[in-house]
A and B are shown apart, each in its own frame.
Chain A
Amino acid sequence: MAKLEISDLHVSVITEDTSKEILCGVNLTIDAGETHAIMGPNGSGKSTLAYSLAGHPKYRVTSGTVLLDGADVLSMTVDQRARAGLFLAMQYPVEIPGVTTSNFLRTAATAVRGQAPGVRQWLKEVKDEMESLQMDPDFAQRSVNEGFSGGEKKRHEILQMSLLKPKIAILDETDSGLDIDALRVVSEGVNRYKAESAAAGEAVGVLLITHYTRILRYIQPDFVHVFVAGQVAESGGSELAEELEADGYVRFTGQAVPA
């Protein structure tokens, strides 16, 4: 069973002339089958945490460890992490001109599964997942994320999660920019994968970064963490999310959060 252990993680962002510490000792353990929600003010470092786990070159880990089932994640390349079972649904998925979505998905699945999926079974798999996410089949023929609306990009991220079947899924604001119907469709997609992976004995661990409790009504978190100034400031259950929604982050930051 999968386990992601983040211990005392310090990360700096590398800019042209300086480097600035964003994560200041993050501790978090996600076990198989658990769903952890992370909530925190803008700029507190939530995306930095997500990107650092995925290995984005812009961020430098200065100390701490990240273990996936005991294996040292930080010494792996970006693609190795993905093949080891980490998946990041990005807050702002990039557009890649000229690379068709179908080609991209198949290349990724081949890489992660270690062999090319059979053509017929693959096409059915993609078609079924796209249908459940209410994505137009035409998307497969378009360039990756190009011209996709905000909501379409997020569905595409969840589509990739369903196809790549990670052990640990990090969802960075997958709910942002979704209308209420899309939110339900996307949440159902996540829940479907949670159930499927559990049934297969490989229950996914989910790290869900969000600003809103509305997604937590669809995807039940087992833990809620308040993230402030590059650290987990407090952890609790869903009641913590309700408190944050009602009162904001004042109790943790000592100041009102800009609306």
Chain B
Amino acid sequence: MTTTQILNPTAGPTLGGPNGLAAHSHVGGRTVRTSGVASHLHPVASSDVADHPVPTSKSELWKFAPLRRLRGLHADAEFTVGALTATWDAIDGVDVRVVSGAAGRALKGASDYLPTDRVTARLMEYNPDTLLIDVPADSTITEPVVVTIDGADASIAEAAHVLIRLGDHATATVVLKEQGSATVAHLVEILAGDGANLNMATIADWAADTVQLAHHHISVGRDAKVKHSLLTFGGDVVRTAVDVDYRGPGGDLEMLGLYFADAGQYLEHRIFIDHTPPNCRSEVLYKGALQGDHARTAWVGDVLIRAMAEGTDSYEMNRNLLLTDGARADSVPNLEIETGEIIKAAHASATGRYDDDHLFYLQSRGITPEMAKRLVVRGFFHEVLNKVGISSVIDHISDTVERELAISGM
């Protein structure tokens, strides 16, 4: 059975004003300021919008973003009831539904999340409907849960909230497909219970006029395993921040990312992994390709290993391939370590053009320069794609990559 539901059918917040949120303990106006290391790794976490001034291009977290193209989403663009729809096929054993009003409000911040920026604080205050994907404890769902989020109107600002909740020792695969035209603030909360095993992929393949500011928060349970893939292709401006924390030792996180920016497109990914409990693992691999004038991407990977996080094993890597002149990729890996008792903490980043030796090797076997480039770009992406582990996503993205390559006549 296919269900399509319009997200956000209720007109704005139904409960009180900005501070009328006390009903929910996770969100109730709490403000946490982490002292100690003073850096952008520790922005203010608060549900109070007033705690988050409108960012400017001088704000560390927004310095790469083209603020003027955000249609005010980062500032005060008023959220309205919109045209975003969510569609999914029912799968036995998984509860997928839209939760509105007070019940929906109670789900905001359910992953123990407090907003760290204005747009997300405003989103939580506004209380859009929550699309809840609930997998009960101890259940194993083999078939991927696929939810398509479709936009139909980029002229209004909308907000959307998704909560993926896996009970203890549950196993599931979740795919979010985002498409269509929208101006949207998006919060995706991911709560993996103790011993849970989640493989999730988000395909952001918006229409060319879409602006999206997204925030993913992943809460990894004790001994839980989470694979999080973010595949960003379409849209005018798409900025996704992913915050990760671990609720207990033994958490294992793999993050994969692919993006392809065409002329004029701006795609940004920001990752913040907070290692607090001991013996957790994080492995991050993001790759991007850029082609065309003013194709721009930014990638910032922050890993914080706190004093208690002994036995941490952390690796992050970002690679960018510039296919043409006029494109620009920023890449900033950051590592902050407060303990020496770790297994590994490595980060690297590389941005470059085609490797001449790769092209020479292929051409020396009779392969034309165009085909050689195509093979190299495909290979560049497939190194990540092969790890995603969801065949429908791999097929979809392979097709998307071919479509992108066709743009530059390859």
Minimum CB–CB distance from B20 to chain A (whole Å) comes to: 52
Q: Which 10 A-B pairs have the closest CB atoms?
A: A98-B379, A99-B379, A108-B365, A82-B366, A98-B383, A111-B366, A78-B363, A112-B366, A98-B382, A79-B363
Does residue B92 face the partner (Cβ distance < 8 Å to A)?
no
19 examples of A-B residue contacts, CB within 8 angstroms: A55-B363, A57-B356, A57-B360, A78-B364, A79-B364, A79-B367, A79-B368, A82-B364, A87-B364, A96-B358, A96-B361, A98-B378, A104-B375, A107-B367, A107-B371, A111-B366, A111-B367, A143-B379, A143-B383
CA distance A134 to B125 in the complex (A): 66
Minimum CB–CB distance from B381 to chain A (whole Å) comes to: 7
Q: Are A79 and B376 in contact (CB under 8 A)?
A: no
Contact with A along B355-392 (1 / 0, CB 8 A): 11110111111111101100110111111001000000
Residues of chain A within 8 A (CB-CB) of B381 are 98
Q: In the complex, given contacts A97-B379, A98-B378, A108-B366, what are 10 additional A-B residue pairs having Cβ atoms less than 8 angstroms apart?
A: A57-B360, A79-B368, A82-B366, A94-B355, A94-B358, A96-B358, A96-B362, A98-B380, A98-B386, A111-B367
Q: Are B376 and A96 in contact (CB under 8 A)?
A: yes
CA distance A56 to B364 in the complex (A): 9
Contact with B along A82-125 (1 / 0, CB 8 A): 11000110100110111100011001100110000000000000
**Residue on B with the closest CB to A51?**
B360
Q: Which of B357, B361, B368, B386 contacts A111 (CB 8 A)?
A: B368
Does residue A54 face the partner (Cβ distance < 8 Å to B)?
yes
- How many pairs of residues, A versus B, come closer than 8 Å at their CB atoms? 82
Residues of chain B within 8 A (CB-CB) of A58 are 356
Contact with B along A152-164 (1 / 0, CB 8 A): 0000000010001
Residues of chain A within 8 A (CB-CB) of B378 are 98-99
Q: Are B375 and A107 in contact (CB under 8 A)?
A: yes
Residues of B within 8 A of A (CB-CB), count = 25
Residues of chain A within 8 A (CB-CB) of B363 are 55, 77-79, 82
Q: Which of A77, A103, A164 contacts B365 (CB 8 A)?
A: A164
From B364, B369, B375, B386, residue with most partner A Cβ within 10 Å: B364
**Residue on A with the closest CB to B386?**
A98
Given A56-B360, A94-B357, A94-B358, A112:B376 Cβ within 8 A: no
**Residue on A with the closest CB to B368?**
A79
CA distance A56 to B356 in the complex (A): 9
Residues of chain A within 8 A (CB-CB) of B365 are 82, 104, 108, 111-112, 160, 164
Minimum CB–CB distance from A147 to chain B (whole Å) comes to: 12
Residues facing A in B204-246 (CB within 8 A) are none
Q: Are A111 and B371 in contact (CB under 8 A)?
A: yes
Minimum CB–CB distance from A78 to chain B (whole Å) comes to: 4
Given A94-B358, A104-B362, A99:B375 Cβ within 8 A: yes
CA distance A87 to B366 in the complex (A): 9
Minimum CB–CB distance from A148 to chain B (whole Å) comes to: 13
Residues of chain B within 8 A (CB-CB) of A164 are 365-366
Residues of chain A within 8 A (CB-CB) of B375 are 96, 99, 103-104, 107
**Residue on A with the closest CB to B319?**
A97
Q: Are A79 and B361 in contact (CB under 8 A)?
A: no
Q: Are A93 and B366 in contact (CB under 8 A)?
A: no
Q: Which of B356, B366, B376 contacts A99 (CB 8 A)?
A: B376
CA distance A57 to B356 in the complex (A): 8
Given A99-B379, A107-B375, A143-B379, A94:B367 Cβ within 8 A: no
CA distance A87 to B360 in the complex (A): 12
Q: Are B366 and A79 in contact (CB under 8 A)?
A: yes
Minimum CB–CB distance from B208 to chain A (whole Å) comes to: 27
CA distance A94 to B354 in the complex (A): 13
Residues facing B in A42-78 (CB within 8 A) are 54-58, 77-78
Residues of chain B within 8 A (CB-CB) of A87 are 364
Minimum CB–CB distance from B192 to chain A (whole Å) comes to: 29
CA distance A81 to B369 in the complex (A): 13
CA distance A104 to B369 in the complex (A): 14
Q: Are B366 and A83 in contact (CB under 8 A)?
A: yes
**Residue on A with the closest CB to B374?**
A107
CA distance A111 to B361 in the complex (A): 14
Minimum CB–CB distance from B394 to chain A (whole Å) comes to: 13
CA distance A55 to B367 in the complex (A): 13
CA distance A178 to B95 in the complex (A): 59
Residues of chain A within 8 A (CB-CB) of B366 are 79, 82-83, 108, 111-112, 164
Q: Which of B355, B360, B371, B386 contacts A78 (CB 8 A)?
A: B360
Residues of chain A within 8 A (CB-CB) of B382 are 98-99
Q: Are B361 and A94 in contact (CB under 8 A)?
A: yes
Contact with B along A237-252 (1 / 0, CB 8 A): 0000000000000000
Minimum CB–CB distance from B58 to chain A (whole Å) comes to: 37
Residues of chain B within 8 A (CB-CB) of A94 are 355, 357-358, 361
Minimum CB–CB distance from A162 to chain B (whole Å) comes to: 13
Minimum CB–CB distance from A143 to chain B (whole Å) comes to: 7
CA distance A56 to B357 in the complex (A): 9
Residues of chain A within 8 A (CB-CB) of B386 are 98
Residues of chain A within 8 A (CB-CB) of B357 are 94
Minimum CB–CB distance from A214 to chain B (whole Å) comes to: 27
Residues facing B in A20-58 (CB within 8 A) are 54-58
